[in-house]
């Protein structure tokens, strides 16, 4: 269980799931605050072309690797993006009420949140690159 200063606890995480008819991966979080009687769910969607591929390109450039290596990198990076989106949603107040929440990709109506996601990526880019090098060899 992890928590932040505001009392939000992430109880469980599952995914990634490939959403049908959408170019997205999704993760399901179960979150709770001490003031809520029961946890609630948050589905975080990551756009493959507009979020994952953008950050993967910034991280690795034109490095490709085997299909297995690409799968591991995509899984690692999509989970990081989902975690960052949860951080942004928490700071934006999306998770204050006890109700199920869907966090769509940060494009279109939520495009104004993409720079916050990018800032989190920039802050951790070197560490992620090292983790990819260690786990995948790219």
- Residue 56: count of CB within 10 angstroms of its CB: 20
Q: How much is the pLDDT for 6?
A: 54
**Weakest mean pLDDT among 3-7, 30-34, 37-41, 115-119:** 3-7
Q: How much is the pLDDT for 91?
A: 93
**Helix, strand, or coil here: 46?**
strand
Q: How much is the pLDDT for 92?
A: 93
**Helix, strand, or coil here: 74?**
helix
Provide the sign of the torsion angle of the four alpha carbons 34, 38, 96, 28, taken in this order.
Answer: positive
Q: Is the peptide bond before 117 cis (omega within 30 degrees of 0)?
A: no
The rounded percent of the chain whose pLDDT value lies above 70 is 96
pTM for the model: 0.90
Structure confidence by residue, pLDDT tens digits, 27-61? 999 999 988 888 999 999 999 999 999 999 998 88
């Amino acid at each position: 269980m992890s928590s932040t200063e505001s009392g939000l606890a992430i109880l469980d995480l599952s995914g990634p799931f490939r959403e049908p008819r959408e170019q997205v991966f999704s993760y399901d979080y179960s979150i709770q605050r001490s003031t809520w009687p029961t946890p609630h769910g948050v589905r975080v969607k990551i756009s493959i072309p507009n979020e994952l591929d953008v950050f993967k390109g910034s991280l690795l450039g034109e490095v490709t690797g085997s299909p297995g290596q690409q799968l591991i990198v995509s899984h690692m990076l999509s989970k990081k993006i989902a975690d960052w989106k949860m951080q942004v949603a928490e700071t934006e107040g999306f998770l204050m009420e006890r109700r199920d929440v869907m966090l769509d990709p940060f494009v279109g109506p939520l495009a104004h949140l993409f720079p916050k996601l990018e800032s989190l990526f920039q802050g951790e880019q070197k560490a992620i690159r090292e983790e990819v090098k260690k786990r995948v060899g790219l």
